[in-house]
Structure 1
Amino acid sequence: MIKKTIIGILLLAAMAIIAINFFEEDAVPIDTNESTSPATAPDAFLAEGLSQGQAAPDFTLTDQDGETVKLSDYRGKKVILNFWATWCPPCRAEMPHMQQFHENNAGGDVEILAVNLTAQDNGDEAIRSFIDEFGLTFSIPMDETGSTAQTYQIRTVPTTFILNTKGEIAQKIVGPMDEQIMKDQTDSID
């Protein structure tokens, strides 16, 4: 009887620790203090935030062609910052629309960065096959460690952030988009 009570208490304690860690991670306050420089902050993304009107956290990743992609290099352009994975059916549905939007806006003021959740995906071969299947020609940065998805608090894919020319978050869209949504969202910002 005493053994069962002790085991029960230990299980409850373990579940409480797990729950506390889970909620503490999600409840990290976002410091929007302008005097905090991202270059000097230990957790730079905390100074920038993820809500509408705040600067999108910068990142540097390698794309599908081995090129370095740094988000801040796109300041001055509107950015459709999409997070996706090959195993995601809504992502599969959305990709032809993204490619069509990209082709119809070639040379325009809107860039697509479709960040693949490489750390959670099915391997390089599956990703390459997906890119080839849909004939994707826009930049696909690879989040190999999962740190960018964590910074952007990605819980559902696809998730898309629409960034204005200042690199600020204008909109967050959870779920798939079509070409008209992309056009409406990017036309409505500067």
Structure 2
Amino acid sequence: MKRIILIVAILAMFGWAVYDFVIEDETTNEESSNSSESEDYMVSGEADGGNPEELETGLEIGSQAPNFELETLDGSVVRLSDFRGQRVMINFWATWCPPCRAEMPDMQKFHENTDIKILAVNLTESENSISDVSDFTEEFGLSFPILLDREDQVATAYEIIPIPSTYMVDSEGVIQHKAFGAMNYDMMVQEYEKMD
């Protein structure tokens, strides 16, 4: 029975990926034929830096990262917009995810060795309990903010399917890199060095 559920889940994820790719391709074609004015702006915005306030909010590289507000493990409230002017790594993860566990020590080292702001968004709805998240944080000695996405609202807004997933956002709030799957320390540093 477990094998059947696993196969159905894999097929559903594959089906969604194909559907998402086809719809995104159709949307891109429609946008390029229907809104050449907007495309011209994006091209000029990328070339000369453009005004990030005028960039369209989205999930593609070069788009303004969608703002969000979440409570941290220690009870404070964090907004992505609070970090404007600083480079930010938004990482979506869960305690039960083996690649997430493998990535965390590198994220902690990255946090310690750079001025990057890491927002580790825990998919809390998928966890057994908040204490699992606290235990995980202590086990790995994590000193960056752990954000609790209790109802998967931010994960949904960022269309997170595989975890870990990471968005690297520059000091203007613009997405500069996306990674689906674990990143190692060298990859993190490489992407960090490309950002303003």
TM-score (norm 1): 0.75
Cα drift, residue 145 of structure 1 = 0.8
- Structure 2 unaligned regions, length at least 5: 1-14, 39-55
1:120-155 Cα shifts (integer Å, max 9, x gaps): 122111111100100101011110010100000000
Which has the greater radius of gyration? Answer: 1
Query: Which residue of structure 1 aligns with residue 135 of structure 2?
Result: 129
Partner residue, 2:94: 85
Matched, 1:76 2:99: no
Q: Does 1:182 align with 2:191?
A: no
1:154 aligned to 2:160? yes
Q: Secondary structure at the match of 2:137?
A: helix
Say if 2:120 is the partner of 1:111. Answer: no
Q: Which residue of 1 aligns with 2:109?
A: 100
Cα displacement (A) at 1:159: 0.2
Structure 2 equivalent of residue 4 of structure 1: none
In the superposition, the TM-score normalised over structure 2's length comes to 0.72
| Whole-angstrom distance in 1 between the partners of 2:190 and 2:113 | 14
Number of aligned residues = 155
Please list every run of at least 4 consecutive aligned residues from structure 1 whose deviation after the TM superposition is greater than 4 angstroms.
Answer: 26-33
Question: CA separation in 2, counterparts of 1:121 and 1:97?
Answer: 22
The percentage of counterpart residues that share the same residue type is 42
What RMSD in Å do the two structures reach over aligned CA positions?
Answer: 2.4
Give the corresponding residue for 2:63: 54
Find out whether 1:168 has 2:174 as its counterpart. Answer: yes
Structure 1 portions without partners, runs of 5+: 1-18, 34-46
Structure (1/2) with the larger helix percentage: 2
- What SS does the corresponding residue of 2:187 show, helix, strand or coil? helix
Displacement of 1:27 after TM fit?
A: 4.5
Partner of 1:8: none
